[in-house]
A and B are shown apart, each in its own frame.
Chain A
Amino acid sequence: MIKVTIDNIEIEVAEGTTIMNAARQVGGKIVPPAMCYYTSLKGSGGKCRACLVKVAQGSAKDPRPMPKLVASCCTNAQDGMVVQNITSPDVVEARRGIVEMLLVNHPLDCPICDQAGECELQNFAFDHGLEKTRSDFHRREFDPIDIGPHIKLHMTRCILCYRCTMVADQLTEERVHGILWRGEKSEISTYIQKAVENDFSGNMIDVCPVGALTDRHFRFRNRVWYLNPMDAHRDCKKCSGKVVLWLRGEEVYRVTGRKDEVGEVKEFICNECRWDHFDVKDWKVEGPREMEKWSVITANKYSDEAVELPDELYSKLNNEKWNEFEGVT
């Protein structure tokens, strides 16, 4: 075991643990955000640079600080290492930059995006971003395409975290999903728009941090925050059968894997569980899913206080504007 200090909190972790995972053992605000790292996907991480931290002291043996900020998801903790996450102004500044970079091309179409409310970029931008964008250039645009009967690819929203290609590479036998072109022009595609036909392909939707890969059966049908997530399971020969049912009344709107407190699915589910059992009777419902407060919606960040409008203006807005809208409809 080795001792690491992260934001003045000392913790003992096993040797070979990354800074990110050490921080996750503590939990709370000192966990660096992750847009590309995904524990169960080998080779993920290091790309988005959202989890950059400052190493103020390398180790007990070699206390020199590291010259640059390091990606906490792929840097191992050392005995006696001192890490600064949100206590370092450099880190906060760098993350503000990362948010800004990611939003150079990511559209601000949250109001019509199915991922809104459970979007990792939305949360990241809310926690670390600037209030407005400084880039007024055209964003890159693509036409949405269907990859198979179940998945829709909105390349315009992709932040190139590579998670989906890793799912395809590691969970599915034949990879048809990949990254084409280079640099800013890179795109996720099956190239000839070949359908992704594999029993576990649906997990690409769950690992996507943004709304680039969405469930075609759920698109535009409801907002996630109107639904009641329920833990449920069924006997499944292909997977664990442990899922979350997203219900409104008795109706199953969608089925997803179970995301933990950092937003990762630990047990991937098969496509049969995801798309062939929309009848609640097919499932043994365990009870309401405890949602950790990591989402913009669950943290109630869209409440009145967050907007901070003066009372007068707010009531004006409420009465006039909305009445006007109602009048139109």
Chain B
Amino acid sequence: MLAVKSGKQVEFSPAAMDRAREIISRYPDGKQKSALLPLLHLVQDEFGNWLSVDSMDYIARLLHIQPIEVYEVATFYSMYNMQPVGRFLLEICHTGPCEIRGAEELISTLQNKLLIKVGETSADGMFTLKRVECLAACGYAPMLQCGMHYHEFLDSEEKIDRLLNDLRSKATQNN
């Protein structure tokens, strides 16, 4: 299910607004709805990697379309998170080619290390595990995506430990 409307005011920062305007200007006149997918990505980047109803309504106002048109699109695509997620969303590919190279082992290792199941967020709000379908990294399996990056060949416990430690230290550096 989806989060309900909170009535909280959502607004882009001036820098994000500039980016939004630039995106909207790419399309021919009257075709601004084309900017919807990139703008929803921008919302996720700006407001904690998920789409609240308030933020979707904000985008609808920005593009002069009905809110339902935004909801329809947001729920169709798997990259948009309809619920809050942890600081790092670990999206593990579990489709055929990754599976035969150990995707399930990667998933169970992560579950055991983070003490959460797929779909859950760790207690410290740091990690969320998500299963995803093919990410086009079949030759570099098993792998996962975290934000901008693909982390590939995660076929040993050391590599997984290193990845988790890297992410944790990244979080402390930024704080």
Direct contact of A and B (CB under 8 A): yes
Chain A positions near chain B (C-beta within 8 angstroms): 174-182, 190-192
Q: Which A residues touch B72, using CB under 8 A?
A: 178-180
C-alpha spacing A191/B75, complex, angstroms? 10
* A–B complex contacts, Cβ < 8 Å, 24 sampled: A174-B66, A175-B66, A176-B66, A177-B68, A178-B68, A178-B69, A178-B71, A178-B72, A179-B72, A180-B72, A180-B75, A180-B76, A181-B75, A181-B76, A182-B75, A182-B77, A182-B78, A190-B68, A191-B2, A191-B67, A191-B68, A192-B4, A192-B5, A192-B53
Given contacts A191-B2, A192-B5, A192-B53, is CB(A175)–CB(B75) below 8 Å?
Answer: no
Least Cβ distance of A177 to chain B in Å?
7
Residue of B nearest to A168 (CB): B68
Closest A-B pairs by Cβ, 9 of them? A178-B68, A180-B75, A191-B71, A178-B72, A181-B75, A182-B76, A175-B66, A175-B68, A176-B68
Chain B positions near chain A (C-beta within 8 angstroms): 2, 4-5, 53, 66-69, 71-72, 75-78
Residue of B nearest to A176 (CB): B68
Q: Which B residues touch A177, using CB under 8 A?
A: 68
Question: Which DSSP category, helix, strand, loop or mixed, fits chain B's interface?
Answer: helix
Least Cβ distance of B139 to chain A in Å?
27
Least Cβ distance of B102 to chain A in Å?
27
Which of B2, B4, B67 is packed against the most chain A CB atoms within 10 Å?
B67
Residue of B nearest to A177 (CB): B68
Least Cβ distance of B8 to chain A in Å?
14
Which of A174, A175, A179, A180 is packed against the most chain B CB atoms within 10 Å?
A180
Least Cβ distance of A294 to chain B in Å?
33
Q: Which A residues touch B5, using CB under 8 A?
A: 192
Q: Which A residues touch B66, using CB under 8 A?
A: 174-176
Residue of B nearest to A174 (CB): B66
> Other CB < 8 Å A-B pairs besides A181-B75, A190-B68, A192-B53, 15 of them?
A175-B68, A175-B69, A176-B66, A176-B67, A178-B68, A178-B69, A180-B71, A180-B72, A181-B76, A182-B78, A191-B2, A191-B67, A191-B68, A191-B71, A192-B4
Q: Which B residues touch A175, using CB under 8 A?
A: 66, 68-69
Residue of A nearest to B5 (CB): A192
Least Cβ distance of A222 to chain B in Å?
34
Least Cβ distance of A276 to chain B in Å?
27
C-alpha spacing A140/B4, complex, angstroms? 23
C-alpha spacing A179/B72, complex, angstroms? 6
Residue of A nearest to B65 (CB): A175
Q: Which B residues touch A178, using CB under 8 A?
A: 68-69, 71-72
Least Cβ distance of A181 to chain B in Å?
5
Q: Which A residues touch B68, using CB under 8 A?
A: 175-178, 190-191
Q: Which B residues touch A192, using CB under 8 A?
A: 2, 4-5, 53
Q: Which B residues touch A180, using CB under 8 A?
A: 71-72, 75-76
Residue of A nearest to B53 (CB): A192
Q: Which A residues touch B75, using CB under 8 A?
A: 180-182
Which of A174, A181, A182 is packed against the most chain B CB atoms within 10 Å?
A181
Q: Which B residues touch A191, using CB under 8 A?
A: 2, 53, 67-68, 71
Q: Which B residues touch A181, using CB under 8 A?
A: 75-76
Residue of B nearest to A192 (CB): B5
Least Cβ distance of B169 to chain A in Å?
37
Least Cβ distance of A171 to chain B in Å?
15
